[in-house]
């Protein structure tokens, strides 16, 4: 199964935030959208970084509470792993596991066009396995 198939199912909308926004705004956006990460982008198409719940929590543990007034760019991950819509879901699951990340922005021609979470990838993999199982069961019962 390809990433493009996952995006067809879940949609290609990506929640973004400007790097100059306050961390408190990022927390509010993640809560409002019920998501675990925001792509940091000044224009909504080019990736400057990514900020996740984990980034906020890790910084809160080492910094005082005024972290919430700092700009998002002060805590975002700048080295963003991305994928393309024609990448295989199994491959991106390996990348997520090896890099210990839960969100992969989808980029085509240098432009942001979606995001896949580990939950999206696992769900699509389970659906593929169920489809394969059903086909095998039909083949066996037809014999």
* Residue 121 reports pLDDT greater than 80: yes
Give the model's pLDDT for residue 63.
66
Please provide residue 82's backbone torsions phi and psi, each rounded to the nearest 5 degrees. Answer: -125, 170
* Residue 138 reports pLDDT greater than 90: no
The pTM of this model reads 0.71
What domains are defined for the chain? 3-142 (3.10.580.10)
* Residue 141 reports pLDDT greater than 90: no
Is residue 118 within 8 Å of residue 100, measured between CB atoms?
no
3-state SS track over 13-24: CCCEECCCCEHH
Torsion of CA 44, 81, 58, 73, to 10 degrees: -40
Interacting residues of 56 by C-beta distance below 8 A, sequence separation 6+: 23, 26, 27, 67, 75
Give the model's pLDDT for residue 83.
95
* Residue 33 reports pLDDT greater than 80: yes
pLDDT, one tens digit per residue, over 38-83 is: 999 999 999 999 999 998 988 887 766 677 788 999 889 899 999 9
């Amino acid at each position: 199964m390809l990433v493009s198939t996952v995006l067809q199912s879940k949609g290609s909308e990506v929640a973004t935030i400007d790097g100059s926004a306050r961390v408190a705004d990022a927390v509010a956006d993640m809560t409002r959208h019920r998501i675990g990460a925001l792509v940091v982008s000044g224009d909504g198409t080019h990736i400057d970084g990514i900020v996740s719940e984990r980034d906020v929590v890790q910084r809160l543990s080492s910094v005082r509470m005024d972290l919430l007034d700092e700009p998002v760019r002060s805590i975002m991950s700048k080295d963003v792993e991305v994928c393309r819509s024609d990448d295989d879901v199994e491959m991106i699951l390996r990348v997520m596991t090896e890099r210990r990340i839960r969100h992969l922005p989808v980029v085509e021609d240098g432009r942001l066009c979606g995001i896949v979470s580990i939950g999206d990838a696992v769900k699509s993999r389970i659906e593929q396995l169920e489809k394969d199982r059903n086909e095998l069961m039909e083949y066996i019962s037809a014999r």
